[in-house]
Amino acid sequence: MHDADQRLAAASPDPGPAGERPPVAPARRSGAVLIASGQVAVRDGRLLAEGRVGDEVTLDTARACARQCARNVLTAVRDELSGAGGLGAVEHVEAVSVWVASAPGFTDQHLVADAATALFTEVLGDGAGRHARVALGVAALPTGSPVEVGATFRLRPEAAAP
Predicted pLDDT of residue 162: 55
Identify whether the C-beta of residue 79 lies closer than 8 Å to the C-beta of residue 73. no
Measured at the CA of 87, the angle between CA 83 and CA 93, to 5 degrees, comes to 130
In whole angstroms, give the CA distance from residue 36 to residue 97. 10
Predicted pLDDT of residue 129: 95
Q: Which CATH number fits domain 42-155: 3.30.450.40, 3.10.310.30, 3.30.1330.40, 2.120.10.30?
A: 3.30.1330.40
Predicted pLDDT of residue 161: 63
Consecutive 10-residue averages of pLDDT for the chain (162 residues)? 82 78 86 96 96 97 98 97 92 98 98 98 96 98 97 90 59
Predicted pLDDT of residue 19: 74
Identify whether the C-beta of residue 97 lies closer than 8 Å to the C-beta of residue 136. yes
Identify whether the C-beta of residue 9 lies closer than 8 Å to the C-beta of residue 3. no
